Amino acid sequence: MTDEFASYEGIGEDFAGGHKTVNHSEGEYVKGDANTNTAESYFALLKRGVHGTFHHISRKHLGRYCGEFSFRWGQRKVTDGMRAVEAIKGMAGKHLSYRELVGRK
């Protein structure tokens, strides 16, 4: 599901679900089950984090930033306590050394 941006034409061929659009330039934001609200809300959360907290993200760690914001998005409707429990569960068995973080061997 996308807006009417011309570069998206034909992408439905690559996805089993096809491609549905909404026409924002005509004030259309929902058409049946097609909308871009969820994606736009997620990216707004990501952009707020980058501009407001991190100020810059590197290509090297982009996956880690996206993973963090995917977690935040997925846990947005639970209490802070439940979010903390899920974060701790997600850390089990993982270790990121400083050397690995900065790329030193």
Give 11-41 pLDDT, tens digit per residue: 888 888 889 999 999 999 999 999 999 888 8
Taking the complete model, does pTM exceed 0.95, yes or no?
no
Identify the CA nearest to 51 among candidates 43, 40, 63, 61.
43
Domain positions in the chain: 1-35, 37-105
pLDDT attached to residue 104? 65
| Burial class of residue 49 in the structure, from the number of CB atoms within 10 Å of its CB (0-12 exposed, 13-18 middle, 19+ buried) | middle
Give me the residues paired with residue 30 across strands. 35
Q: For the chain, where are the E strands, in sequence order?
A: 30-31, 34-35
pLDDT in tens, 54-95: 888 888 889 989 999 999 999 999 999 999 999 999 999 999
Phi, psi dihedral angles at 2 (to 5 degrees): -140, 180
Terminal alpha carbon distance of the chain: 43
